[in-house]
Amino acid sequence: MNNKEFVQIRRFILKLGKMLHKYGSPSFRLEAYLTEVATHLGVHASFNSTPTYLMIGLWSDHHEDEYNHSARMQPGELDMNSLSLTDELAFELLSGNISLEEADKRLDEIDATPSPYGKSLTGIGFGMSTSAFAMLMGLGWLEILYSGLLGLMVYFWKLWSEHSKRVNLMLEPVASFCVGLAACAINYCTPSGLNIWLIILSSLIILVPGLSLTMGLAELSSRNMVSGTARVLDAMMQLFKLYFGAFLGISLGYQLFGVQELVPITKLTGWVPWLGVLMLSVGLVAIFRTRMKHVLWAITSTFIAYGASTLSSAYLENGLGAFVGAFALGVFANMFSRIANAPSTIVAMHGLIVLVPGSKTYIGLNSFVSGQDVLNAEHLGQETFLILMSLIAGLTSANELMPTKKAL
- Residue 294: band (very low, low, confident or very high) from pLDDT cuts 50, 70, 90: very high
Query: What does the pLDDT look like over 38-67, one tens digit per residue?
Result: 999 999 999 999 888 999 999 988 778 889
The reply to whether 229 and 191 lie within a common domain is yes
Distance CA 115, CA 121 (A): 10
Identify the domain containing residue 49 by its residue range. 3-111
Instruction: Say whether both 85 and 37 belong to one domain.
Output: yes
279 and 195 both lie in a single domain = yes
Contacts 24+ apart (CB under 8 A), 311-315: none
Calpha distance 62→58 (Å, rounded):
12
The predicted pLDDT at position 182 comes to 94
Residue 67: DSSP 8-state: E
Q: Are residues 308 and 244 in the same domain?
A: yes
Gap between the Cα atoms of 22 and 83, Å rounded: 9
Q: Does residue 388 share a domain with residue 320?
A: yes
Total domains present in the chain: 2
Neighbours of 274 (CB within 10 A): 15
- Please give the average per-residue pLDDT across 186-206, as a whole number: 86
pLDDT at 360 over 50: no
Within this chain, do residues 361 and 317 fall inside the same structural domain, yes or no? yes
What one-character-per-residue DSSP string does 232-251 give?
A: HHHHHHHHHHHHHHHHHHHH
Same domain, 100 and 38: yes
pLDDT digits (tens, 9 = 90+) for 116-155: 999 999 999 999 999 998 888 888 889 999 999 999 999 9
Is residue 9 within 8 A of residue 69, CB to CB? The reply is no
Question: What is the mean predicted confidence (pLDDT) over 249-253?
Answer: 91
Residue 69 and residue 48 in contact, taking contact as beta carbons nearer than 8 Å = no
Is the residue at 406 inside a domain?
Answer: no
Same domain, 24 and 156: no
Residues 157 and 174 reside in one and the same domain? yes
CB 346 within 8 A of CB 294: yes
Q: What is the pTM of this model?
A: 0.88
Q: Is the same domain home to 77 and 129?
A: no
Based on the domain organization, do 343 and 246 belong to the same domain? yes
What pLDDT is recorded for position 257?
A: 86
Instruction: Classify residue 408: in a domain, yes or no.
Output: no
Whether 407 is covered by a domain: the verdict is: no
Return left, alpha or beta for 397; rule: phi > 0 is left, psi -120 to 50 is alpha, else beta: alpha
Residue pLDDT, tens place only, 254-267: 898 887 666 666 66
Confidence of residue 270 (pLDDT cuts 50, 70, 90): confident
- Separation between Cα atoms, residue 286 and residue 80, nearest integer Å: 10
Annotate 225-239 with b (16+ C-beta within 10 A) or e (fewer).
Answer: eebbebbbebbbebb
In a domain, 96, yes or no: yes
In a domain, 223, yes or no: yes
- Asked if residue 151 belongs to a domain, the reply is yes
Tell me if 110 sits within 8 A of 52, measured CB to CB: no
Same domain, 265 and 333: yes
Cβ count near 171 (within 10 Å): 22
> What is the rounded average pLDDT of the residues 330-355?
91
Residue 53 placed within a domain: yes
